[in-house]
Amino acid sequence: MDTDERHPLGSAPLPTGPDSFPESGPNALARVGPRAAAGLLGAVVLAVPLVVIVSVLLLASGFEPDESVDAFPPWVGAVWFVVVVAYETLLVAWRGQTLGKFALGIRVARLDNGRPPLWWQAAIRVALPAVIATIPHAVAQLAFLAVYFSSVFDTMGRGLHDKAAGTVVVTTR
């Protein structure tokens, strides 16, 4: 086997499919359920303080709380987008995990060597669905869901965001 087909950290061949990972235990491919639960938990962990902060800023700016959701100032969406992308990018690049992933025992790893993604890989992984989610159209919302649900149809459980970033989600325990 050519050395280019091996992990930079050892002699194990690069993963080419689900058989390249252990069946269970550390570094096994993460299942859809824990991945979805980690995303939901992470969203709640991030949303609670963010809602409080944005609410305080809205009230300080004179925003009337009884107005419709469509009346929110544009900066609210921008702040939300920046915070979500920064949170996910920083934690995934640093540890391979957000708080939700940590709690569910999964992590994001580079497909080429198993280490946490580089900052730009982590940014691609979160920015792809985040940018799509900002488009105010029903087709865009379906595309947003397709980014994640595509993992159900991939043999290694990789969504379009994982494929774009060169990452895979594995278990830690």
Domain limits of the chain? 23-171
Bigger pLDDT: 92 or 63?
Answer: 92
| Mean per-residue pLDDT, 112-124 | 93
Question: Which H or E run includes 40?
Answer: helix 32-60
Per-residue pLDDT band at 9 (split at 50, 70, 90): very low
| Mean per-residue pLDDT, 164-168 | 94
Question: Residue 39, SS3?
Answer: helix
Q: What is the pTM of this model?
A: 0.81
Q: What's phi and psi for 171, nearest 5 deg? A: -85, 155
Token pair listed for 70: 């469509």
DSSP strands (E only) in 50-156 = 106-110
Q: From CA 54, how far away is CA 11, in angstroms rounded?
A: 50
Q: From CA 29, how far away is CA 124, in angstroms rounded?
A: 20
Per-residue pLDDT band at 2 (split at 50, 70, 90): very low
Q: From CA 81, how far away is CA 84, in angstroms rounded?
A: 5
Per-residue pLDDT band at 18 (split at 50, 70, 90): confident
Cα angle for residues 25, 31, 36 (degrees, 5° grid): 130
- DSSP H helical ranges for the chain: 32-60, 74-95, 99-104, 119-133, 138-149, 160-165
At 43-62, the pLDDT tens digits run: 899 999 899 988 888 888 88
